[in-house]
Structure formats: structure tokens, C-alpha cells
Structure 1
Amino acid sequence: MAVFPDFLIVGAPKCATTSLAHYLGEHEKIFIPTEGEPHFYTYVAEERPHWGVGSVEDYVRLFEDADSEQLYGEKSTWYLYSSTAAEQIQKYAPDTKCIALLRQPVDRAYSHWSFRIQNDWETLGFREAIAAEQERIENGAFWGTHYMHAGRYHEQLLRFYDRLGPEQVLVLWFEDLARDSAAVVREALSFLGLAPNDSSGTDEAHNTTTLPRSQMLNRLRRSPLIRRVAHAFPDTIRVLCRKVYQRLNMAERPSLDPNVRAELTARLAPDIKRLQRLLDEDLSHWIE
């Protein structure tokens, strides 16, 4: 009989889900596989993201090294945005608990755009990418370009509430994790029925976003030729070169223009207000 995970970190992208998964994974009673984001529950119905684990056998194999007394969990940040993931979770493992991390949606969009620029996956400026978003969606572009749509959390959470019930969904806040990560981890552990683990470290952020000073150098680093050359060297040399590159070419992401932020926030304000009512949570600081 296939054993599916007890809990999922379902998103949203660029809301510190990697950090939360790392913190929870340090608990002795939790097992989270290290093999990226499986996205099994999106893959089985929508076949995207394209890197998803595509079979039940491969999915449950991710947890075969877990201790029988541990809770199994995994992080796939597009589950929340997916129109079918909640339905598939209900189908395969209806008792699964889901943890969602949410962030002010325009800040989330800007961070996501920056992340794609960092990885040379985006060629447009932020304003241009937002302007092109609807056309990209209509043309079937990958979810990663759905910058504003991915921040419309109300409809996304409703799918999970309808399929699994609100009692199986914990909503946490990026801002709280940034301010007091230990408290947020304690809340997540309580939701999972576990006591805090004193050995868990919550000081280090994971998968943070920077921007390249030189996009040309960034593209060169990611070219097939450089990748082939890099694999000729031992891991220690590659790690050292990566650290040197980060120091020389990657800079802290500049703040988003406040006027742009206010303009885009106004467009998302109706959804934020619906989210407030759904969660009975004051989100006026997201709109102000």
C-alpha cells in the first residue's frame, strides 16, 4: 500500500517556503525529502510544472528513507496556484494537512520576477512583464510568468477549503516568518501535532533572491559550455567558484518603486479584501 505524505507546504512561490521546509525538516519527528519540489499532485492532472514526479511509484519512493515514526512532508510551491492539486490531494490522501505561506502579493510578484531575472528566465522589465502577463497566460506560458495572478490567494485557498476543509489548512505569513521565524515554526509544529525541537535553527534564510550586476555574465555562467567545463572540476572547486561569482556579480535586489507598488496593489485590493473575509484576518497593511 502506497504511503503518501502527512503534510504539504503548498506555496506560494517566493514566500519563504524553502526556509520553512528547512526549519521543519530539522525536527527529529519530520522527514522531508531533499530532491527539490516533486509537484506530484499538479503533474498527475495538468502535467506542469514539467519537472514534476509523474508516477505514484516514484512519488512514494521519495519517502522510503523515512523512519516509520516520523511525519512525512514535502514542499511544492505551485500546489496552491494549481486548479487541480487540491482535488488530487483529496483523491490520493484526503487526510493530508497543508501549510500555505502568503506574502503581500505585489512584493511576491516582484520577488518572483527578480528570481527569474536572476536565473535568466525572464527578458522583460518588471512593468513590461506585468503588462505582458495576460497575453502570456492566454498563450499558455508557464505559471512562473503569472506574476500577479499567482498572488490572487482567495480563489486558491477556497479550492483547498472546499476539498479538504479549513481545519486541514494552515495559513502562515511571510512577514511573520521574517520577523519571528521561531514562533512561526512553533505554530506549524503545533498544527502537525508536534512539540518544538530545541535543536532547530531558524536564523538562516534559504533560497533568497539577488540580481546580477551583469546579465551577460549571468547568461555566460549558465551556458551549456560553462556547465560542461565546470563538471570537469571537483565539487569543492565548483562551490568556491560559485561563491566568488556571487560576491562579484550578484547584488542585493533594489526596492520596488513605491508608486509602482501602490498602483499594482490597487489592482489586487478586491482580492485582498475577499481574502480578509475568508480568513477573518486584518490585511489592511497589505493595501495601505
Structure 2
Amino acid sequence: MPPVSALIKPNFFLVGAAKSGTTSLASYLDQHPSVFMSQPKEPNFFAFPPDSTPSCNGPLDGDVLFERLLKYSTTSEQAYLALFNAAGTASIVGEASVRYLYQPEVPARLAGFCPDARIVVIIRNPAERMYSHYHMNVMAQLEPLTFEAALAAEDARIAQGWGWDWHYRRVSMYADQLERYFAAFAPEQIAVFDYGDFQADPKLLSGKVLEHLGVNDPFEFDCSSSGMVGAAPRSRWLRNLIWEDSLLKRLGRKAVPGGLRRKVSAYVERKNQSTIPPMSDALREALTAQFEEQRVKLEQMLGRPVCW
């Protein structure tokens, strides 16, 4: 591995918000010859102390949580910078770790690492973002409660040390999070976009992000595919059978070849998925109203209307 001084440093960070189209946006930007995005998409380098072992508390054993949430994270600076070795002559070198928007220490760390960095944020109706975040956890077998119960349990879970992945309401408090970024970077270094605009015209918004990054040549993005599309299990019992260890699965491992087991599990997993049930208008309105103070603060910060 080459010395750290010889490695390319990122100069662009897509910091969130979670469940607001960042996976799709990162993949679209990566199509441009002047842009290089890291693989994995979310190395989470600035979200954890240097040279530490990334970890979080939650409803499952720490080893399981690491495997499902953090296994692609790196806290070694040399390993982190090595992710950008293949950037070549790309003028925009970036990554997209959505934990960065929420973690309070990250803006200062980013500014210390790359003072001239460009920052991009996508914000989404906070109620819809929470709902999508919750269903992502359900599909990953990380959320045993109903949506309403999980929101009610948030304070108690945080008091018990549960990690970012279950801070549904707090992760949606964008104004408080952006305030830290505007304290660490000049306003012209930060661009905040709306998820609704991205949904309506991903090519147009991707082009606006390129302009913010200083890339002004015309480019035709292929936006035919999207990133992480949410889903809900038809049967939680069947989902548990696939994911959790059991006597039946241990017997199956002895009798059925590994490749066939994985194919069967993947097939059952696909068949067990259904679209996320829509959130009721009443619930959306009630939850959105809880963020009115944040919305007003955002409008003052950004100098434009924020419509939820």
C-alpha cells in the first residue's frame, strides 16, 4: 500500500439525510468521468474515533449488528484513503456516508481533514424519512416494534445507549444538524436539496449537484435504476426463519449444500417482500407538525421555503 501522503484525498461528501435518495444520487454522480465515488458507498470514516472498532448498541448481539450495519466501515486513515486510489484524474472525489449529517463531531472533523470540501445534503419530509428508516430496520431484522411503538421507545433506547440506527425522530432534525455544518464550512461549500425534487426529476437534480461541485459540462445521466428501494415483509415469522439461527437451520446446513441453501433463502426472501404499506395521512400530518420549529429554522438558515 502506498504511503498516506501519496494517496488521493476526497473533496466531496454526500452526508445525508438517511433514506433520502443518497444511494441513487451517489450512483448517478459516479457515472460522470470527472467524478469518482468510493466503494463501499458508506465508509463512515469520520463517524467513529480513529483506529477504533466500529460498534453500536441495539436489539441484537454486537457481532450481528456489526455484520448487518458496520462491516464496510473503516477507521484507519490509510485504509480509508486507499478507497480512492482508483480515482485517477477525476477532479471530484467523494463518498456518501449518511451518518455524517447526524453525528455532532463530524463537521469539525471533515473541515479539519479537507477545509475546501464540498458538502451535499438531501432533506426529506421528516415523517416520511422516519417511516422509511423504520421499514429498512424491519427488513434487516433490527426492529421488533411497530412504528408507533418504536417512536415512543426512542428516548428510552437512547438512554440505554442504542445507536444512530434507532434515532428515528432525532435523525430527522435537519436544522440542528445543518447548523453544525454551517459553523464548520462557508455557506457556498454546502448545497441542500429536497428529496421531492430528486424524485420528480433525478437527472435535473443530479445536474445541479454537479454544478455545485464545479462540473459544468452537459451530461446525460442514466437514472433508470434506483438505489435502496424499501420493502416490508409479508410474514415476519418467515423473515425470522430466514435470518435467525435455529435447530432447523442447523440441521439444514448439514443436509443441504451451501450454494443451494443460499439460493433457496434468497428466493424465499424475494417472495416474502411486499411494498411498504402507506402511512396514513393523519399520522403523517401529526408527525410532520412535530417538526414545525425545525422547518422554520431551516427556512431561515437556507433563505428559501421548505415545504413538507
* TM-score, length-scaled by structure 2: 0.85
Distance 1:35 1:262 in 2: 36
Query: 1:150: how far off?
Result: 0.5
Residues 24-61 of structure 1 show CA distances to partners (whole Å, capped at 9, x for unaligned) of: 01111111122241111111369566633111111101
Residues 127-164 of structure 1 show CA distances to partners (whole Å, capped at 9, x for unaligned) of: 10111111111221111111111111001011111101
2:237 is the counterpart of 1:208: no
For residues 166-177 of structure 1, what are the structure 2 equivalents within 5 Å?
A: 166-177=187-198
Q: Taking structure 1 as reference, are residues 182 and 246 closer, same or farther at Cα in structure 2, changes over 3 Å only?
A: farther
2:50 is the counterpart of 1:27: no
**Corresponding residue SS for 1:170:** strand
Query: 1:71: how far off?
Result: 2.0
Distance 2:74 2:136 in 1: 23
Distance 2:134 2:257 in 1: 29
**Conservation of the 8 A alpha-carbon contact between 2:191 and 2:212:** yes
Query: 1:75: how far off?
Result: 0.6
Question: In structure 2, what is the equivalent of residue 265 of structure 1?
Answer: 288
Residues 154-210 of structure 1 show CA distances to partners (whole Å, capped at 9, x for unaligned) of: 010111111012111111111111100000000001111113564531122210110
1:129 counterpart (139, 142, 150)? 150
Query: 1:70: how far off?
Result: 4.0
Question: In structure 2, what is the equivalent of residue 107 of structure 1?
Answer: 128
Identity, in percent, stands at: 28
For residues 223-262 of structure 1, what are the structure 2 equivalents within 5 Å?
A: 223=244, 232-233=258-259, 242=266, 244-262=267-285
2:116 is the counterpart of 1:95: yes
Count of aligned pairs: 282
Distance 1:69 1:27 in 2: 9
2:101 is the counterpart of 1:80: yes
Distance 2:188 2:268 in 1: 46
Counterpart amino acid of 1:29?
Answer: S
Question: In structure 1, what is the equivalent of residue 302 of structure 2?
Answer: 279
**Conservation of the 8 A alpha-carbon contact between 1:186 and 1:196:** no
* TM-score, length-scaled by structure 1: 0.90
Counterpart amino acid of 1:271?
Answer: Q
Query: 1:223: how far off?
Result: 3.2
Structure 1 runs, 4 residues or longer, greater than 3 Å off: 45-50, 195-199, 223-231, 237-241, 244-247
1:15 counterpart (15, 20, 25)? 20
**Corresponding residue SS for 1:9:** strand
**Corresponding residue SS for 1:158:** helix
Q: Taking structure 1 as reference, are residues 67 and 255 closer, same or farther at Cα in structure 2, changes over 3 Å only?
A: same
Q: Taking structure 1 as reference, are residues 204 and 69 closer, same or farther at Cα in structure 2, changes over 3 Å only?
A: closer
2:208 is the counterpart of 1:181: no
Distance 2:157 2:105 in 1: 20
Counterpart amino acid of 2:186?
Answer: G
CA radius of gyration, larger in: 2
Residues 210-245 of structure 1 show CA distances to partners (whole Å, capped at 9, x for unaligned) of: 0000112112222357699599328xx957863x33
**Conservation of the 8 A alpha-carbon contact between 1:28 and 1:70:** no
Q: Taking structure 1 as reference, are residues 217 and 93 closer, same or farther at Cα in structure 2, changes over 3 Å only?
A: same
**Conservation of the 8 A alpha-carbon contact between 2:242 and 2:269:** no
**Conservation of the 8 A alpha-carbon contact between 2:100 and 2:106:** yes
